Amino acid sequence: MSNPSGFPLIILAAGKSSRMGSPKGLVPYKGNPWLFSQLEAYGKLGGGRVVLVLGFDSDKYLEAIPWLLQSCSEYVYYQNIQIKTVISPNPEFGQFSSIQSGIKEIMSYDSAPRGVFLTPIDIPIADVNILRILMLHVLKGAQACIPYHEERGGHPVALHHDFLKSLERLLVSGDESRLDLQIKKLDPSLVIAAPANDPRVVMNLNTPAEFESFAGTSW
């Protein structure tokens, strides 16, 4: 089966993390910031490139993880993956502004990929087989593929190159500048709901208690 390295991962970490009380990517987890765990999980699955989108707490991330500053200007290696950091210029417009910032970075590649994975920082990276299934649907022509666990849609979502181009063109402040609304506007035959037996696809680690509970599992 295909290797997930063909699809870059966009990690959204530009929100205020109000329920957490501190930036989610910097929450201590097994001796390191949670961001490291997300990067390591994607790397272990064969992932190649990550675009990290920061916003409201970008200064805290850059202070806590100094090498992220270098990654704002060029790709740097963390273990076996390359990471580029992008700071959203309009985080006040919500998550779509972060999505668009990540897409613009991806689309600036000399050879843009056929698709990407997209996930918020607070949802643990899923099993490699799920990533492969999502990617293969997109490679076969689906514009969006969403993992579903117990009838709930989750992340990461896999998005086709052509759909990324349409998202890139939207006004960030537009009423319909939301990923869920844009997916609903697609031809239903081009949107795949992929069953996933991994509950991580629908986990949202929004509070210290939820992080503590997750840290006590065998994942």
The domains found in the chain, sorted by start residue, are 4-215 (3.90.550.10)
**What share of residues in the chain are helix, strand, coil (percent, to 5)?**
40, 20, 40
Q: Determine the residue type at 171.
A: L
Cα atoms found within 13 Å of the Cα of residue 93, Cβ hemisphere only: 19
Residues 6 or more apart whose CB falls under 8 angstroms from that of 29 comprise 36, 37, 211, 215
End-to-end Cα spacing for the chain: 23
pLDDT of the residue at 1: 44
What's the distance, CA 106 to chain centroid? 12
Nearest residue to 12 (alpha-carbon basis) of 88, 72, 83: 88
Pairing of strands 32-33, 144-149: unpaired
pLDDT of the residue at 2: 59
Q: What is the dihedral of CA 35, 111, 144, 53, to 10 degrees?
A: 30
Q: For the chain (length 219 residues), average pLDDT per consecutive 10?
A: 76 85 89 93 86 95 96 93 94 92 89 90 92 94 97 96 95 91 97 96 90 82
pLDDT of the residue at 33: 94
- Using alpha carbons, list the distances in angstroms from residue 156 to 123, 142, 148, 171: 8, 15, 10, 24
pLDDT of the residue at 188: 97
pLDDT of the residue at 135: 93
pLDDT of the residue at 19: 75
Q: Taking a C-beta distance cutoff of 8 angstroms, is the pair 159, 144 a contact?
A: yes
CA 126/CA 147 separation, integer angstroms: 10
pLDDT of the residue at 71: 97
Q: Which two tokens stand for residue 16?
A: 């205020």
The pTM of the full predicted model, rounded to 2 decimals, is 0.94
Q: Where are the alpha helices (DSSP H) in 2-127?
A: 34-44, 58-64, 67-71, 95-107
